[in-house]
Structure 1
Amino acid sequence: MSESKIVICPACASANRVPVEKLGAGGTCGRCHAALFQAAPLTLTAANFDAHAGRGDLPLLVDFWAEWCGPCRQMAPAFAAAARELEPRMRLGKLDTEAESAIAARYAIRSIPTMILVKGGREVGRQSGAMPASAIVGWARGLA
């Protein structure tokens, strides 16, 4: 029997079992039929954060940011480019620290932008400051 991964749907946060060899093929959610991978960071909120961080088998790279932050806005295109390169082996998401201050406090975010890599519900790496896409990809792959 082939190995499979639990992939959380970016639209409805349902868990989907996907064979590892079919991760690259994309696929759709068994519940809402949305694409499981969009080659773009998803918006993380209190409603879906714990599902992506704790229930899914894919590592979750979170960009903690805020609208008023110049370096955050500057890094946004690089983070989006990294998503195109890192999916489907990793999920990338953006969490607005102003809108989701409780989650930012849970992870003790003191400066932004800060990226945290979460695997199995646990933080495995943290990097603060804006980075180009190639550095984001290299750093994330080194930890995953």
Structure 2
Amino acid sequence: MTEATQQKIRLVCAHCNTINQFPVTRLDDMPICASCKQPLFNQKPIETDANGLIRHIDNSGVPVLVDFWAPWCGPCQNFAPVFNQFATAVGNQMRLLKVNTETHQQAAMDFNIRSIPTLALFRDGREVARMSGALPLPQLQQWVVEQLTQGN
């Protein structure tokens, strides 16, 4: 076996919160959860709470982009369809999460969210970038690519 075949990736199931591990070469094979047998990717952002957020960030073999938002926030509501489109566009290459800061105020405090919408980008369990405000899809894609390619 080659080193690439042996390399493992971890990913939390959006349905049952089980941490799955599988070869990175299977990332594009529509992997399913070993526990609940649901797809690990469904091309939609995952709504989560403070505990789920930490679990996903700490156990994701792909970058994680988090949208901190609130239902009363107009810009957040306008940005939601863009974030959904981005989830479809990135497929299995990223994990997109949404945290309702009204419902999950502790998560907002833990991550020092001062304004919404705020996007936080994580890789290998660490925050690598943050941006407040809503973006159109092309600018969102550009921002994510720039943040993930810096330092590589």
Task: Give me the TM-score of the superposition, normalised by structure 2.
Answer: 0.89
Partner in structure 1 of residue 88 of structure 2: 84
Shift of 1:6: 0.6
Residue of 118, 121, 126 corresponding to 1:122? 126
**1:143 corresponds to:** 147
- Find the aligned partners of 1:86 and 1:143 in 2 and give their Cα distance: 15
Match of 1:55 in 2: 59
The aligned length equals 144
SS in 1 for 2:112: coil
Asked if 1:100 is matched to 2:104, the reply is yes
Aligned-partner Cα distance in 2 for 1:34–1:108: 33
1:132 pairs, out of 131, 136, 151, with 136
Whole-Å Cα distance in 1 between the matches of residues 24 and 147 of structure 2? Answer: 19
1:25 alignment partner in structure 2: 29
Larger radius of gyration: 2
How far apart in 2 are the matches of 1:88 and 1:116? 18
Q: Percent identity?
A: 38
What's the offset of the Cα at 1:46? Answer: 2.6
Looking at structure 2, the residues matched to 43 and 76 of structure 1 have their Cα atoms a distance apart, in angstroms, of: 12
TM-score normalized with structure 1 length: 0.94
Q: Are the counterparts in 2 of residues 63 and 114 from structure 1 also a CA contact under 8 Å?
A: yes
Runs of 4+ in structure 1 deviating by more than 6 angstroms, as ranges, are none
